[in-house]
Structure 1
Amino acid sequence: MELRTDDKRWLGLARACWSGRTSAGLPSAALTPPPPPSVAIGVSKQDIREQIWDYMESRNLADFPRPVHHRIPNFKGSYLACQNIRDLEVFARTREVKVDPDKPLEGVRLLALQSKKTLLVPTPRLRTGLFNKITPPPGATKDVLRKCATSQVSAGAKAVRNYSSPVGLDSRVLVDLVVVGSVAVSEKGWRIGKGEGYADLEYAMMVSMGAVSPETPVVTIVHDCQVIDIPEALLEDHDLTVDYVLTPTRVIATGCERPKPTGILWSKISWEVMGKIPVLQSLRHREKQAGKDVTLRDEPRRLLGASSQQPAHLTAVRGPRDPPLPEPCPAQGEDEPTGTVCVGNLPRDARVSELKRALRELGAVPQRLTWQGPRGRALLHYQNPASAQQAVSRLQGLRLGAATLTVALARRQRASDLPGGRVQEPQPDCRPAVADL
């Protein structure tokens, strides 16, 4: 793998450091990596992130893109650190490797492609799936491989898309090695990311789909200053730990004994996150069918407690009921689906702005909204029945205040079944589905 000019300089300095001298005649101590920032007792994860980001910027250790705040920081010498993965036996025997799209991991992605390994990268923010498989064209040049290895969120995004294909949940994928970025990591293998939780969630999702096992090694690549002591009290069950830490000057086998996540902790996930990650909704549906507890963080429990077997929503505060709807005549046949969704059980004090905000957060914004607050309902008009059905799925469990809203497709009767052949306007049926009772 060709090194950039900065990394060639780092390699020369590292070799000089190992030999105890430099070409400039300076003692090797002058080239010793700067000590990491000290971590005070009682700090939070965010405190540690801010210290690392500030330290790397102030010491000019950071590399493009800058500033490194709120990112997995790229650093000078990242390609040199990435080369160290070739010293790991696990990399030599790896066939499929999943590497995060962070800039400092670009060297690993390139090495994986040059070594003819199957490279998997997460889709940006998991919007369209879990990950993509990067497949360079036959006889790809070094320049093409380098473009394939670039981050999906960088200027090379178009190149990556040209050579990638999505990997579905039903794909028989078995990941041999996972490489993640970090803001901070300890020699014990405890890791802190940038705070969005995507690396932890991606790993948990891979566990859920059977792509990784507890024995699948996890590697992170950081600058030496990012290796610090992390208080164990900061770690939670969903936090991903690492087995190897690679820096420009070190290869650390952590021997971490703390268990990795064994699956998705649904109690840590909100409806807002569910609305942003469609693949998460599919995994939740699968696990629900398998009988697992998939209650979300902000979703009411079905049972009040061990001493009560009554559904919790029976005691919840309800908004005004919709007026009773006429039962359809048996001779009318089935109703035709429409692009209208009825949201019912709106609280008396609900505001249309609150509902609009919830719709935006869940990714279910309609083309038009008809507000019928005094009747305790609203009609959401979408482009077609398929869009309306998708909105119904995303809005299940939606709450405003203390009330759980009912969400259902409105239907219109066939023209042939009505006097004069006219088409009746959509009939809002906001009663809860049988499964929710």
Structure 2
Amino acid sequence: MQNGDEVAAAADATKTPIPEEVTKQSFRVKVWRHLEKNGLALFPRPVYNRIPNFKGAQEAAANLAKLDVFKNANSVKVNPDKPQEPVRVMCLEQQKTLYVPVPRLQTGFLNRLVLPEGETGNAAIAKAVSRNGMETFGKSISIEDPVSLDLVVMGSVAVSKEGYRIGKGKGYGDLEFGLMMHMKAIKPSTLVVTTVHDCQVFDTLPAELFGPHDVPIDIIVTPTQVIETQRMSQRPTGIMWHLLSNRRIQMMPVLGQLRDIEMLSGCDCTLKEVDTDVEERAAVRARRIRRRTRSHKSQSEGEGGNTTEGEEGKAGKPRRAARRRNSAKGKDKDGKEERPRRQKRPRPVIDFSVKISNISPNTRVRDLKQALFERGVKPQIMVWKGFRGFCYLHFFKPGPQKGEGDSQPTMNMDSVLTALAQMSVGGSGGGGTGAAGAEEDEKPRLLCVEPAPPRQPRVPPAEVDVTPAPEVH
């Protein structure tokens, strides 16, 4: 059985300063790649940007169930990821009090998981521990409610026998632990356990990669072994506000609630000034745009043949010579009659506009287009600001269609608002892939639809989307 050091031999422990390319993300990528290439990854696939589900997750959970720390635990908190689903099943089978965190902490903190009313047995347990079941059958727990945990089970991408843990990079596990420390739900006797594949276990990970906010692991359980770690670092004592941005607080209301409480008690809750998460996302988008631009440029240059030297090499495709017009009206330089110039079509006038808000940052524009199409709403222009949680729909004044004498189908503000009432969009249901598929554990959101000023949108062309009725395949 391969261990983590065989997955990443280049990252062996060393006394010299670690190279710049050795980061938490580099270890994540090595583990994800190893699981995928060696047939060790299970649904949801691919495992990139996730807590990876692995072959042997059931066996790892069974090994955990044999430990006294699990047998003696009355209340257990388990992360909601797929590889820890067998652990959640065992907790309910043994009638333990089971807590699961709210996905991305967007609508609360913890849910206490209970079986569907009037249902028992394996089918009821399987329903309760599923992605939808954890939200449907969970009883909401706030940071003001008393909770006492005997055991915390976390998902991991990579761990070391020293107790260092690397998650998927979003910080949710560390934030959840900090909130539980505030609630005094974590006792000195509460142990932190993770279930992983053997290839996710490293003998050592660079200590320089970890900070005081990182949660250390006490016990590592794999399909073949149980490892009690040396735990080289201390547990976080709470939320470290200087590591969080205002955007993160707005995304997770429970953090804002806790910050208000701590500020009233006189704690220093100063946030970091620069939102580095936004900068990183912007840099990634810029790199993607540059790659696409270079690709298109190389294709267009390839069509024009090779150039050799001087200005000819810079010019690329030769410019088309300007056409000189004859002084005689309606004739070109050769005396031939010119075709009449096509008159510019009048710019359509916007009749009314609608604003849709409460859009999830993970919702794709095509999902909203499909929802609009199903409700018979066909805006002429959509200005998409989904990453900021809203978008605008613009509808033109009715006019004759091309080649037809009939008018366009009439839509007015009232009919659109009625058609879009109670519309929900979001939640990909496990069908995403890659980075997009990593953000799929969100249930559909009820959208807010309201009138907006009917003004001509002034936005860059890339943000204006003329939206015909989508084809349904």
TM over 0.5: yes
The answer for the alignment partner of 1:127 in structure 2 is 106
Q: Answer yes or no: is 1:38 the counterpart of 2:38.
A: no
Kindly provide the amino acid, as one letter, of the partner of residue 86 in structure 2: G
Q: Answer yes or no: is 1:293 the counterpart of 2:293.
A: no
Q: Shift of residue 98 of structure 1?
A: 0.5
Q: Shift of residue 266 of structure 1?
A: 0.1
Q: Shift of residue 170 of structure 1?
A: 1.7
Alignment match of 1:186 (pick from 147, 153, 160): 160
Q: Shift of residue 214 of structure 1?
A: 3.9
Q: Shift of residue 299 of structure 1?
A: 8.0
Alignment match of 1:222 (pick from 161, 174, 196): 196
CA distance 1:39–1:113, shift in 2 (3 Å):
farther
The answer for the alignment partner of 2:219 in structure 1 is 244
**Contact 2:7/2:30 (CA < 8 Å) preserved in 1?**
no
2 CA distance for matches of 1:161 and 1:274?
22
Question: Which protein has the larger Cα radius of gyration, Structure 1 or Structure 2?
Answer: 2
2 CA distance for matches of 1:39 and 1:201?
31
Alignment match of 1:50 (pick from 1, 26, 29): 29
1 CA distance for matches of 2:176 and 2:239?
9
% identity of equivalent residues: 42
1 CA distance for matches of 2:385 and 2:135?
32
**Contact 2:143/2:179 (CA < 8 Å) preserved in 1?**
no
Q: Shift of residue 148 of structure 1?
A: 1.3
Where in structure 2 are the equivalents of 1:385-396 lying within 5 Å? none
What secondary structure, in the 3-state scheme, does the structure 1 residue paired with 2:153 have? strand
Alignment match of 1:98 (pick from 42, 63, 77): 77
Q: Residue deviations 1:79-105, cap 9 Å, x none?
A: 100111122212111111110011110
2 CA distance for matches of 1:72 and 1:113?
22
Kindly provide the amino acid, as one letter, of the partner of residue 232 in structure 1: A
Alignment match of 1:208 (pick from 169, 182, 192): 182
In structure 1, the gaps of 5 or more residues are 1-31, 301-355, 368-437
2 CA distance for matches of 1:33 and 1:55?
10
Q: Shift of residue 257 of structure 1?
A: 4.3
CA distance 1:77–1:359, shift in 2 (3 Å):
closer
The answer for the alignment partner of 1:168 in structure 2 is 142
The answer for the alignment partner of 2:126 in structure 1 is 146
Kindly provide the amino acid, as one letter, of the partner of residue 58 in structure 2: Y
2 CA distance for matches of 1:66 and 1:266?
34
2 CA distance for matches of 1:185 and 1:286?
34
1 CA distance for matches of 2:207 and 2:34?
22
Q: Which has the higher contact order (CA 8 A, sep 6+)?
A: 2
**Contact 1:36/1:224 (CA < 8 Å) preserved in 2?**
no
CA distance 1:227–1:128, shift in 2 (3 Å):
same
Kindly provide the amino acid, as one letter, of the partner of residue 243 in structure 2: K
Q: CA RMSD in A?
A: 2.5
**Contact 2:192/2:218 (CA < 8 Å) preserved in 1?**
yes
1 CA distance for matches of 2:273 and 2:385?
13
2 CA distance for matches of 1:39 and 1:140?
50
TM-score, scaled to structure 1: 0.59
2 CA distance for matches of 1:168 and 1:243?
26
What secondary structure, in the 3-state scheme, does the structure 1 residue paired with 2:7 have? coil
What secondary structure, in the 3-state scheme, does the structure 1 residue paired with 2:61 have? helix
TM-score, scaled to structure 2: 0.55
2 CA distance for matches of 1:96 and 1:164?
15
Q: Residue deviations 1:44-93, cap 9 Å, x none?
A: 11111111111111111111111110001110111100111122212111
**Contact 1:240/1:261 (CA < 8 Å) preserved in 2?**
yes
In structure 2, the gaps of 5 or more residues are 12-17, 276-382, 393-473
2 CA distance for matches of 1:60 and 1:242?
27
Q: Answer yes or no: is 1:232 the counterpart of 2:203.
A: no
**Contact 1:49/1:183 (CA < 8 Å) preserved in 2?**
yes
Where in structure 2 are the equivalents of 1:309-348 lying within 5 Å? none
Q: Shift of residue 160 of structure 1?
A: 3.1
What secondary structure, in the 3-state scheme, does the structure 2 residue paired with 1:176 have? strand
2 CA distance for matches of 1:56 and 1:250?
18
**Contact 1:267/1:297 (CA < 8 Å) preserved in 2?**
yes
Kindly provide the amino acid, as one letter, of the partner of residue 165 in structure 2: R
2 CA distance for matches of 1:93 and 1:231?
34
Length, aligned pairs only: 274
Q: Residue deviations 1:299-335, cap 9 Å, x none?
A: 89xxxxxxxxxxxxxxxxxxxxxxxxxxxxxxxxxxx
What secondary structure, in the 3-state scheme, does the structure 2 residue paired with 1:107 have? helix
CA distance 1:299–1:149, shift in 2 (3 Å):
same
1 CA distance for matches of 2:74 and 2:147?
11
2 CA distance for matches of 1:243 and 1:123?
24
2 CA distance for matches of 1:162 and 1:231?
41
